[in-house]
Amino acid sequence: MNLIIDIGNTSTKIAVYNGDEKVEAFRTNQLKCEQIEKKFSRYRIKKAIISSVRIVPPFVYDLLSVNIPFVHLLSHKSDLPFTIGYETPETLGTDRIAGVAGAYKQYPGANVLVIDAGTAITYDFLHGSVYEGGNISPGIEIRFRALNRYTGKLPHLKMDENFHSPAKSTAGAITAGVINGVVYEINEYIRTFEKSPGTPVVILSGGDSGFLKDKISHSFAYMPEIVTDGLNYILEYNAK
């Protein structure tokens, strides 16, 4: 059994895998020692991996190391089945590495665009066995928050399915502008990527992917668990 801990900007996801099969998973906004203990106490965990885009709380690694024989802290120095072609690999988010790893496992040798729509929206390009790098854009919530923070009167709104464009109110204009802006951005990335040689593959993942998936007009594979799948793959790869 494998324990996966993915610490993101907004929340932490904890998952348990048996081989390639995910047994269970949950997401929390406040990572606590008891949550981790509860997860692995029910299973015979032999291996664990920690991925974090923030500083890892000391208790996490300490707790796992005491109870689990093999614990891997993911970084750009980890053994990977593909080459990282990033000029500053030490600044590369481990969530992006994991997403690319999941894509590589699912589509070995293919040209893949991994779109992870979360706090930030990342666009990562895998060409065969080389991770070429990618782009980072503000996520939906950041865009809503920025309009409120950097203007005098615009309210802080949340995602809402009910909007029209062109909008007939300021709230509608904000909602349509943010959501349509993200959708247009994603559609253009996919449209451009579709010109790649061979049969390019697009993967959509991330916390906001469920909200966005029905609004995108191009073909893609919806894989909301691509990051945890990738972490499980990297864990097995390094344990060997």
**Which residue range(s) make up the domain with 44?**
1-73
What's CA 117's distance to the chain center, in Å?
7
Predicted local distance difference test score (pLDDT) of residue 66: 85
Instruction: Supply the residues annotated as catalytic.
Output: 95
Residue range 205-212: average pLDDT? 96
> Which residues lie below 8 Å from residue 116, measured CB to CB, with a gap of 6+?
95, 96, 99, 122, 124, 205, 206, 209, 226, 227
In this structure, what token pair is assigned to residue 65? Answer: 């190391």
- Count of domains for the chain: 2
Range from 4-8, 36-40, 123-127, 182-186 carrying the lowest mean pLDDT: 36-40
Does one domain contain both 160 and 51? no
Does one domain contain both 55 and 145? no
As a whole number of angstroms, the distance between CA 103 and CA 106 comes to: 5
Which of 35, 52, 73 is at the close of a domain?
73
Looking up residue 23, the CATH number of its domain turns out to be: 3.30.420.40
Quote the pTM value: 0.92
Give backbone dihedrals phi and psi of 106, rounded to 5 degrees, phi first.
-75, -35
pLDDT tens-digit readout, 137-195: 999 999 999 999 999 999 999 999 888 999 999 999 999 999 999 999 999 999 999 99
As a whole number of angstroms, the distance between CA 115 and CA 111 comes to: 13
Range from 38-42, 124-128, 130-134, 182-186 carrying the lowest mean pLDDT: 38-42
What's CA 204's distance to the chain center, in Å?
9
As a whole number of angstroms, the distance between CA 192 and CA 121 comes to: 17
Which of 26, 56, 73 is at the close of a domain?
73
